[in-house]
Amino acid sequence: ETFVVDKRSWNCEIGKGFDNAENGERSPFLFKGPVARFRLPAVDGASSGDLKLVSGDGGEVLIMWSPPHRLRGIPIYQFIHFLDEVIHHEKSWVCMDSVEKKAGCRGRNMFDACEHMIMPEVACFDASYAELRTDWGPPDVFVSHVWAESVGVTRAAIQKLATTLQQQGSCVSNVLSSAESTSDGPRIWFCTACNNQFRVKYELGNNVLQSPFAEVLQTDTCSTAVIVSPLRALERKWCTFEFCFAGARDKEVLLLTEDGVAQEGQVTPQALHDLAKRLVHFDCRQATCTDPGDGRLIDEAVCAMGGYETLTGN
């Protein structure tokens, strides 16, 4: 495959950034340097990712491979480190409704992390967090989550999941207790960290059944889907779609809270009762979506899968 690089190939910005605090306008988000991307040929119908060129100040060009989503899994303990980064990020974050969240705040969430950490420190290099800061590879576990959930709850839940997997001996060896072995063990696919947040609309596309979420859940390596904070997650269209899609693909689906894995009896009797009650009355049609455009895409995908009644039944 031959790629032609000319002046039109290079981009210094993509889309619009967050609101400017002074004038309320949305200013462009700039890459750290000019970037050129070229889609690599698919192999056996599967994406091969992109060839990426990054131009430096001195005229040098860095040639990189941007892997497809099915290879962007993060080792579970490196993912926990990511969550710790969100909690302890040294800057004070002014978040939604002008709420200030200082370093050490476990109430920060993925909306906050995306705006204050991922976009300015990672996505500005036209990459996902997984690509730039982890030993990425094929994911074993798909994590469905609510962006508004606090990082403290998410971290506690993932730590319980890691302990459970280690006790089960599922893809995890005893060396995980060692600080030197954070790249070992199962890999997690978590959209905030594994999607390129500068290109999320582009990567999502116009067909949910061909989206990164569906792509990862259909891989042979991904055997498990985990729903974090299921009582909240199953009120959201994306999480509901992922929950049902994973079940339809015969993946093991685990319900995970900050107390642990529900199926392992690690949650309190009251929490288990609430979960059971929620599932008894579960109906996909009741889920909501922040982005109306995403909601329509999910509705179209569900229709192609047989409709909401079929999805709920599965």
Tell me, what's the pLDDT at 212? Answer: 94
Tell me, what's the pLDDT at 32? Answer: 80
Do residues 259 and 294 both lie within one domain? yes
CA 124 to each of CA 196, 220, 268, 284, 285: distance values in angstroms, whole numbers, following the listed order: 10, 32, 43, 36, 37
Structural domain includes residue 82: yes
Do residues 233 and 173 both lie within one domain? yes
Do residues 33 and 106 both lie within one domain? no
Do residues 263 and 246 both lie within one domain? yes
Structural domain includes residue 125: yes
Tell me, what's the pLDDT at 311? Answer: 67
Do residues 224 and 171 both lie within one domain? yes
Tell me, what's the pLDDT at 285? Answer: 77
Do residues 123 and 169 both lie within one domain? yes
Structural domain includes residue 38: yes
Q: What is the mean pLDDT of the chain?
A: 87
| pTM, two decimal places | 0.88
Mark which of 66, 90, 110 sits at the end of a domain: 66
Q: What is the pLDDT of residues 31-80, one digit of tens each?
A: 888 999 999 999 998 899 999 999 888 888 989 999 999 999 999 999 99
Do residues 147 and 24 both lie within one domain? no
Structural domain includes residue 2: no
Report residues of the chain scoring pLDDT below 70: 14-29, 170-181, 311-314
DSSP letter for each residue of 43-91: BTTB---EEEEEE-TTS-EEEEEE--GGG-BEEHHHHHHHHHHHHH-SS
Do residues 186 and 289 both lie within one domain? yes
Structural domain includes residue 121: yes
Place of tokens 């000319």: 6
Do residues 106 and 30 both lie within one domain? no
CB 185 within 8 A of CB 202: no
Mark which of 49, 66, 83 sits at the end of a domain: 66
Tell me, what's the pLDDT at 284? Answer: 75
Do residues 104 and 62 both lie within one domain? no
Query: How far apart (Å, rounded) are the C-alpha atoms in residues 160 and 183?
Result: 18
Do residues 133 and 215 both lie within one domain? yes
DSSP 8-state class, residue 117? I
Structural domain includes residue 265: yes
Do residues 52 and 163 both lie within one domain? no
Q: How many domains does the chain have?
A: 2
Distant-in-sequence, close-in-space partners of 292: CB < 8 Å, separation ≥ 6: none
Mark which of 46, 66, 86 sits at the end of a domain: 66
CB 54 within 8 A of CB 61: yes
Query: How far apart (Å, rounded) are the C-alpha atoms in residues 141 and 98?
Result: 35
Structural domain includes residue 1: no
The whole domain housing 160 covers: 69-313
Structural domain includes residue 51: yes
